[in-house]
Every structure is written in C-alpha cells, then in structure tokens.
Structure 1
Amino acid sequence: MKAFIAEFIGVFALVFAGVGAIHVTEGGELTAVALAHGLAIALMILAVGHASGGHFNPAVTFGMLITGNIKLGPAIGYWVSQFLGGLAAAALLAGLYGSEAVAKGTPAVGLGFSAPQGLVAEIVLTFFLVLVIFATALHHKLPVAAFAIGLTIVMDIMAGGAISGAAMNPARVLAPAIIGGSWADHWIYWVGPLVGAAIAAIFYTQIYMVDEKEEAKLPVDLTSDRPSS
C-alpha cells in the first residue's frame, strides 16, 4: 500500500506541476515547463521514491515488468495508482484554473508535425528516459539518480516538446484528457512511451544484465579480499 500511495503522489505532483506551469506561462516558456516536469519527478523520487522505486510512469513500470524487476500483480496496482494520481491532480487544476487550462496542458502533436512524427518522438524520448532510469537508479544505484532522471525529462521536453509535447508518460496525458476533453492523437501517447520503454528494457537486458552475468562468472582472486577484475 505504501508503494501505491507513493506512485499516486508522484504522478499527482507531475501533472499538477506540469499542467500548472503550462497554464501560468501560457505555454510560451518551454524552459520553465521543462523544469517544472523535471523537478517534479526528481523531487518526488527523493521524497517518496524509497517506498515504490519511484516509477511515476506506466511506461517505466512496463519496462520494469519486461526486465522482471516487478511482478504483474504489483504492476497493475502501480498503474491504477498512477492514473488515479494524475486524475486527482487534473481535477484539482480544473477547479483552480478551469477545464480549459487543463485541456491546454494536455500534450498534443505540434503544428507542422504529423502523427507519425509525434509517435517517433515519443518513442525516442521515452527510450532516453527509461534507459537513464535503468542505468542510474537500477544498475549503478547512483546517489544523483533522481536528478539525472529529472534532467533527462528536462532535456527531452526541450528537444521534443515542439513535436509531441514530450509526454513520455500515458498517465501524464490520460488524466488531463479526461478532465479537459482533449483527445487529439491520443493513441500516440500510449504506443510511443510503451514501445520506447520496451526498447530500453531490451537494451538493458542485453547490455547491463549480460555484464552482470559475466562479472558473476569471473574467478575469485584468492590473494585478494575481493573478486578479480
């Protein structure tokens, strides 16, 4: 239950900060919007990530499921909690700013770009995000993992925000879409993040997990207190 509450809070913060920043800046300050999303995730990982692993994204949970780092039962609980957290934040924002503000904060394919371009952007951007999560938080367990993940979100939004909104997260899109009623090219924000996360998960299993298995097979140096390298 603690993990589900943590996932609820994490996505709540992401949607509240992200959509709120878009409304306050009228969508004209990409850097501010990128920082709002990135800081929300980084800070929530630090605050409650210890309780759940700090997924805060159905695509991340999907990647963890593929790599065997979470079982299907808990994964379903994570997904429900994530979507409910986003929905609660979107509903609160609608009460504060109105449903139109929530609709404007719903990611959409940018003017001059096609749905296929938006799909490719979501795949690539989510791949970057999930790969950094696997590398920094799961594999190396770096103390700065939270900020590395947050900065990846900032990078992704600044690079791809004009193309697809750089959602990388189905919960970030579904909740505002329900409250704000904006469903344009909605399928992109499911297919893109899930495919991107799956590619990152496969990359992780073939690179990082293979390295771990190879290291486990190394002979022990009897003249040292640690395995030889």
Structure 2
Amino acid sequence: MRDTPSRALTAEAIGTFALCFVGILAINVDAISGGEGAASLASIAFAHGLTIMVMVAALGAISGAHFNPAVTIGFVATGRMTAVRGVQYAVAQLAGAVLASLLVAWLFGLDVVRGGTPAVAPMVKPVGAMVVEVVTTFFLVLVVFGTAVDHRAPRSVFPFAIGLTVALDIMATGPITGAAMNPARALGPALVSGAWANHWVYWAGPLLGGVLAAFLQHRFLMEHAPSPATAEHGGPAPAEERGV
C-alpha cells in the first residue's frame, strides 16, 4: 500500500490524540475515580512516556511519529521536511490534541481538562518556566534525532528512548511547568478549558528547544540521512541503505 499524505497526517493526529487523552486522564485519575493516592508524579510521567513509546512503535513507519510541533519544526528548520508539510503536520497534531480534550471534557467535565492543562508553578517566573521547557524539549528532540533519524542507531531502540525521555523530563520538571515539551499538548486542553495562563511559555520554550537540538544534531553530531524518505519521516534507514 502506497504511503499518502493523508495517512501520515492521520497518524500524527492519532498519536497526539493518544498523548493528550492518556495524559489528561492520568493527571486526574484521583478526581475521576474518587480514589486517593492513585496518581503520582511517576505514574503521570510513565503514562505520557509509555503512550509516546507505543504510538511511536505503531505509527513511526507511517509518519515518523512526531506528535509534536517542536519535533516537526526541527525537521523543517534542518531542511528535512518542507515548510508546507510541516504546517500540515502541526495542524494534524493540534487537531488530535483538541479532539482528545473535547472528548475528556464530554466524558468527565471541564474541570478535568483544566486540571490536565500544563501550568507554571506559582513560585516560578514565566521566563524561568520557558527556559525549563527549552531544556526539556532540547533533550527530547536531541533523542529523536539521535535515535530515530540517525541511521547509525539500532532500529529497535528509538520508541523506548523517546518515550523514556518524555517520562524523565516529566519526573524532573512536571511540578515546575507541567513538562509539556509540546505546544499541542498545551493548546488542546487550554483551548477547551480556557486555562490560558502563561500559555506562551508552551510555544516559545518547546519550539526554541526543538530547533536548537535539531541544528546541533544535524550540523555537528550526526551524519546526514541517506535518503529523502528517512529525512522526512525520521525513521532509521532500511538495511540496504546502511550497507547491511
């Protein structure tokens, strides 16, 4: 079956939908179930990380499994994806996030969506929060390029590496900024719930961090992708391209 843009965009929407749906519910599991102590920072981190891990494994061959405008802008900035395709990817990602947030709101109410919207901690200045998002997204995109794009990396490692990077970033900075690392993950619930406080942090930080990491990998750390398909999708090169 021949790959088409519509399949790639559908994959991007599904993956981002899954991230937002699972992430919002994981944060609010106590409020929804009436339980106490079911949610923890570790469980929230691994809910996000495991979702990314399985969705990258399932959909990476179709779209490259960006699920994040900060990843996509890294591909565009380094010439690995056209600007038009990058905008299409971002629209699909944002649509998936909004649809997931709407579904959660319909099922469990706006308060749950509001509780799952990334927010800056009261004692943290917005500029400091932005820097935290720059650093955590830098780590994420660095790992994406180093494992999913660099054809020297083992083919099987990148879903685990990317998912675990999301988890470790959330465990380190979740209480500080919500550890969005992803404008779509912030916009979806914000748009549905109206929780717009410091929303610019979740665009400026991740997009800047994504571009910085992509340029570092592309210009200095890694070899250029051996084929246009590998460059755009971000998956490891086929065995024949790697001389295996």
Do they superpose with TM above 0.5? yes
| Identical pairs, percent | 48
Letter in 2 for 1:108: A
The correspondence of residues 113-192 of structure 1 with structure 2, limited to 5 A, is: 113-139=124-150, 140-142=152-154, 143-192=156-205
RMSD: 1.5
Runs of 4+ in 1 over 2 A off after TM superposition: 25-28
Q: Secondary structure at the match of 1:107?
A: coil
Question: Per-residue deviation at 1:153?
Answer: 0.3
Query: Which residue, out of 67, 73, 91, partners 2:102?
Result: 91
Q: 5+ unaligned residues in a row in structure 1: which ranges? A: 214-229
Contact 2:218 2:224 in 1 (8 A): no
1:205 shift after superposition: 2.0
Contact 1:15 1:90 in 2 (8 A): yes
Shift in Å, 1:52: 0.3
Task: Please give the secondary structure, in 2, of the residue aligned with 1:69.
Answer: coil
* Cα offset, 1:212, TM superposition: 5.3
Q: Which runs of 5+ in 2 are unaligned?
A: 1-5, 32-36, 226-244
CA contact (8 A) 2:134 2:205 kept: yes
| Residues 132-189 of structure 1 deviation map (CA, whole Å, 9 limit, x = unaligned) | 0000110034311001000000000001111111000000000100111100100000
Number of equivalent positions = 212
CA deviations 1:18-54 (Å, max 9, x no partner) are: 0010110459511111011101111001111110000
Structure with the greater alpha carbon radius of gyration: 1
Q: Report if aligned partners of 1:117, 1:163 keep a CA contact under 8 Å in 2.
A: no
Check if 1:201 corresponds to 2:206. Answer: no
Alignment of 1:14-25 (within 5 A): 14-25=19-30
- Matched residue type, 2:15: G
Q: 2: distance between equivalents of 1:184 and 1:25?
A: 24
Q: Could you tell me how far apart the structure 1 residues matched to 2:30 and 2:143 are?
A: 28
